[in-house]
Amino acid sequence: MTQAEKEIRFQEKIDREIKIEPNDWMPDEYRQTLVRQISQHAHSEIVGMLPEGNWITRAPNLRRKAVLLAKVQDEAGHGLYLYSAVETLGTSREQTIDDLHSGKAKYSSIFNYPALTWADIGTIGWLVDGAAIMNQVALCRTSYGPYARAMVKICKEESFHQRQGYESLMKLCSGTPQQKAMAQDAMNRFWWPALMMFGPSDADSTHSDQSIKWKIKRFTNDELRQSFVDATVAQAEILGLTIPDPNLKWNEARGHYDFSEINWEEFWQVVKGNGPCNKERLAARVKAKEEGAWVREAATAFAKKRAMKKSA
Amino acid sequence: MSTNEWPLWEVFIRSKQGLNHKHVGSLRAPDATLALENARDVYTRRSEGISIWVVESVQIHATDIDEAASFFEPSDTKIYRHPTFYEVPDGVKHM
Amino acid sequence: MQESALFEYVLRLSDDSLILAQRLGEWCGHGPILEEDIALTNISLDLIGQAISLYDFAADLEGKGRNHDQLAYLRYENEYKNVLLVEQPNGDFAMTILRQFFFDAFRLPLYEALMQSPEEQLAAIAAKSVKETRYHLKHTSEWVIRMGDGTEESHQRAQAAIDHLWRYTHELFYEDAHDQSLQAAGKVPSMAEIQAKWMATVTSILQEATLEIPKNNWKFDGGREGRHSEHMGYILSDLQYMQRAYPNMEW
């Protein structure tokens, strides 16, 4: 079969909603796109542990402490499921992580913003996980089998993440004026970065068309962003929080909310490493890897010794 | 740089008595003992299992994707292996 | 007398669990490999769960209408009765695992004995916690063995952790009049009995790990009486930050 024939057969499978599995033939670019997207997603889970992790020791009561710990732990699990999906494409976890540490691979820019107050933790659960779930639910039907299966598992587990965030904000918004102000402040700081999570607008998105054709992505960035805004407005109203956008209003003709243009300069600056916490986040991950090296080596050495003893 | 990466293991979990172990994913571990413990922490945080198998990924032998047609399609035509191939009168029960 | 002795006893168990959970929580996101990050977090979660049950029980015994959060968050430093061992800094992975191992090796026989206690609620908490603790001990033992019998570096780090932590292990078996009155009533085991079991576990695992028990038997204590190390103040600053900065609010 020629390359062109293989590509046609491949696209036919995709069009018929047949999942692609690890050993199937796939175009190199499909593989590369997947490695890039899934690893970026995995890195986001892992780096995303850091801003919330900072608050584990400061959680205001034991129930919240356990919930936060369990949530951040889930994120480690989700990163792991996704690294496993990347491994099925022939790229080892260590390689993938090295690409993050060298700056070659990216992660979601939202985690380059600081978590400053306890209200930020609820807001991250509600808005950031809410935005992520919007994306992830769509990805449960992505064309690559291991990725889709990881997403199904992740979505199942994540359903508590957004709810716990919202519940935590409910407490603040029905609490003292000080608590309510803390919640509004968090909303003000996280709203725009949350909208930026969906990536550049479709007009500026380099990989979008081909990814949609291959059904790696099922919706465009702008479609998902719009769905998120539409879903979130009513949730904010119930909390009694104001969305920091004077132009936010229902557009009857479109059947959607209109909202202001995102500050794309900020978006690109943060992507390029100039966000408030880029350096700290990456440094923390590199440190964990370097300081863990002797632990990993020890276990490997032990396993070798035992295997030798057994065969002796 | 990647001299000490732990081997990859595939994880299979029996979710309850009476069901098969089912593949749920993979992880990295230095040996079988820790692979089982890691699998417990990674894949059964929500009471998903009562028994775990781990197999080093390199130990798995799989059919060749290029031979899939010769491996599997011949059985497609053996429709007489399925009960729906046979007709029985409406009145016949317990069959 | 018995009520207050039991309150004190349960409070010690609670504080040990809480402070150790707090320490382990610091690892979240910084573990040597993802799988182990998740494992340490699981231990921390188990300990928080144990702390909640134990504080609830302590609050009942006290009968002053305090709840588990008020006990956990709103006391002064000298009112916390955890052992010094659990407040020691995480250090490297060897220090964290050895600290956990010494603690688990103590907690397991203690819970096993408390399952037989005529104090039903204490026995019930012990019965639930014993399974968690048995797993913790298995996991930390595996790691002590791997570090001890792994590379030269890991062996040195593990031995250094043992040499440092050993001085804090004696306090695990602290006894005072509270313990003695409860022991006399047959409600709790004698610490000599627990210590013997602890020593057996520690000896056998360290031996398998090719690690040594330190010759220096110098002891540090004070935690059980509310005299802590300098680390404790920082732990409580983090733990109590929200409750102290925003008093009387619900979260």
Q: How many distinct structural domains can be found in chain B?
A: 1
Residue B94's SS3 state is: coil
Residue of A nearest to B41 (CA): A77
Average pLDDT of the segment spanning C22-39? 96
Instruction: Compute CA distances A65 → A52, A234, C37, whole Å.
Output: 11, 28, 17
CA distance from start to end of chain B: 64
**Do A92 and B46 count as a contact with CB atoms less than 8 A apart?**
no
Chain C nearest CA to A67, separation (Å): 9
Average pLDDT of the segment spanning B42-47? 94
pLDDT at site B2: 47
Chain A touched by B45 (CB under 8 Å): yes
Give contacts of A95 with chain B, Cβ < 8 Å: 2
Distance CA C19, CA C232 (A): 9
Average pLDDT of every residue of chain A: 96
Distance CA A86, CA A144 (A): 11
Distance CA A164, CA A179 (A): 17
Which is nearest to C95 in space by CA: C11, C180, C165, C9?
C165
Residue B30's SS3 state is: coil
Selected residue with higher pLDDT from A231 and A158: A231
Distance CA A269, CA A79 (A): 25
Give contacts of C26 with chain A, Cβ < 8 Å: 56-57
pLDDT at B1 over 90: no
User: Which residue reads 């916390």 in tokens?
Assistant: C80
Nearest to C29 among A61, A66, A72 (CB): A72
CA distance from start to end of chain A: 50
Residue C64, C-beta contacts closer than 8 angstroms, at least 6 positions apart: none
pLDDT at site A28: 97
Residue of A nearest to C73 (CA): A61
- Quick one: tokens of C131? 């399974």
A90 torsion bin: left (phi>0), alpha (psi -120 to 50), beta (else): left
Distance CA B70, CA B64 (A): 10
Best residue of A18, A81, A147 to probe chain B, by most B CBs closer than 10 Å: A81
Give contacts of C30 with chain A, Cβ < 8 Å: 53, 284, 287-288
**Do A98 and B46 count as a contact with CB atoms less than 8 A apart?**
no
Beta strand A249-251 with A256-258: parallel, antiparallel or unpaired? antiparallel
Nearest to B37 among C33, C34, C39 (CB): C39
Which residues constitute the domain of residue B47? 8-85
Which is nearest to A281 in space by CA: A84, A52, A65, A82?
A52
Chains touching chain C at 3 or more Cβ pairs under 8 angstroms?
Answer: A, B
Residue of B nearest to A20 (CA): B65
- The letter for the amino acid at A182 is M
pLDDT at site B44: 96
Give contacts of C36 with chain B, Cβ < 8 Å: 38
Average pLDDT of every residue of chain C: 97
| Beta strands per DSSP E along chain C | none
A311 pLDDT band (50/70/90 cuts)? confident
Nearest to A69 among C18, C45, C147 (CB): C45
Residue B44 located in a structural domain: yes
pLDDT at B77 over 70: yes
Q: At what angle do helices A278-311 and C120-148 cross, to 10 degrees?
A: 80
Let me know the angle formed at the C-alpha of A239 by A238 and A245, rounded to the nearest 5 degrees.
95
User: Residue A256 is inside which H or E element, if any?
Assistant: strand A256-258
**Do A299 and B28 count as a contact with CB atoms less than 8 A apart?**
no
Residue of B nearest to A302 (CA): B30
Average pLDDT of the segment spanning A140-146? 96
Residues of B with CB under 8 A from a CB of C: 6, 27-30, 33-34, 37-38, 41-42, 45
Best residue of A21, A71, A84, A155 to probe chain B, by most B CBs closer than 10 Å: A84
Which is nearest to A280 in space by CA: A9, A50, A30?
A50
Give contacts of C205 with chain A, Cβ < 8 Å: none
Residue of C nearest to B41 (CA): C39
Give contacts of C31 with chain A, Cβ < 8 Å: 76, 288, 292
Which residues on adjacent β-strands are paired with residue C228? none
pLDDT at site B94: 87
pLDDT at site C1: 58
Give pLDDT tens digits for A92-138: 999 999 999 999 999 999 999 999 999 999 999 999 999 999 999 99
pLDDT at B3 over 80: no
pLDDT at site A39: 97
Chains touching chain B at 3 or more Cβ pairs under 8 angstroms?
Answer: A, C
Distance CA A170, CA A238 (A): 9
Residue B16 located in a structural domain: yes
- Quick one: tokens of C99? 């600290």
Give contacts of B27 with chain C, Cβ < 8 Å: 35
Where residue B79 sits, what CATH number does that domain have?
Answer: 3.10.20.520
Give pLDDT tens digits for C153-172: 999 999 999 999 999 999 99
Residues 3-42 of B with CB under 8 A from A: 4-6, 8, 24-28, 30-31, 34, 42
Distance CA A21, CA B63 (A): 13
pLDDT at A56 over 80: yes
CA distance from start to end of chain C: 36
Nearest to A64 among C37, C49, C251 (CB): C251
pLDDT at site A206: 74
What are the sequence ranges of the domains in chain C? 2-245
Distance of CA B54 to the CA centre of its chain: 11
Distance CA A311, CA A116 (A): 55
A16 phi, psi to nearest 5 deg: -85, 10
Homologous superfamily assigned to C2-245: Ferritin, core subunit, four-helix bundle (1.20.1260.10)
Residue B34 located in a structural domain: yes
Whole-angstrom Cα Rg for chain C: 18
B17 pLDDT band (50/70/90 cuts)? very high
**Do B28 and C35 count as a contact with CB atoms less than 8 A apart?**
yes
pLDDT at site C2: 73
- The letter for the amino acid at C169 is T
Q: Please, are residues A57 and C239 in contact by the beta-carbon 8 Å criterion?
A: yes
Which is nearest to C238 in space by CA: C14, C12, C15, C19?
C19
Chain A nearest CA to C181, separation (Å): 31
Residue A24, C-beta contacts closer than 8 angstroms, at least 6 positions apart: B65
Residue B1 located in a structural domain: no
Q: Please, are residues A35 and A97 in contact by the beta-carbon 8 Å criterion?
A: no
| Beta strands per DSSP E along B29-92 | 51-56
pLDDT at site B87: 92
- Quick one: tokens of C211? 């690690």
Residue B22 located in a structural domain: yes
Chain A nearest CA to C26, separation (Å): 7
**Do A62 and C48 count as a contact with CB atoms less than 8 A apart?**
yes
pLDDT at site A22: 93
Let me know the angle formed at the C-alpha of A73 by A69 and A75, rounded to the nearest 5 degrees.
125
pLDDT at site C91: 98
Residue B30 located in a structural domain: yes
pLDDT at site A114: 98
Give pLDDT tens digits for C120-134: 999 999 999 999 999
Nearest to A24 among B30, B46, B65 (CB): B65
Chain B nearest CA to A163, separation (Å): 17
Residue B21's SS3 state is: strand
Is residue A167 packed enough to be buried (19+ CB in 10 Å), middle (13-18) or exposed (0-12)? middle
Distance CA C69, CA C159 (A): 37
Average pLDDT of the segment spanning C34-38? 96
pLDDT at B65 over 90: no
| Beta strands per DSSP E along B1-95 | 8-14, 21-28, 51-56
Give pLDDT tens digits for A66-94: 999 999 999 999 999 999 999 999 999 99
Average pLDDT of every residue of chain B: 92
**Do C35 and B33 count as a contact with CB atoms less than 8 A apart?**
no
Residue B13's SS3 state is: strand
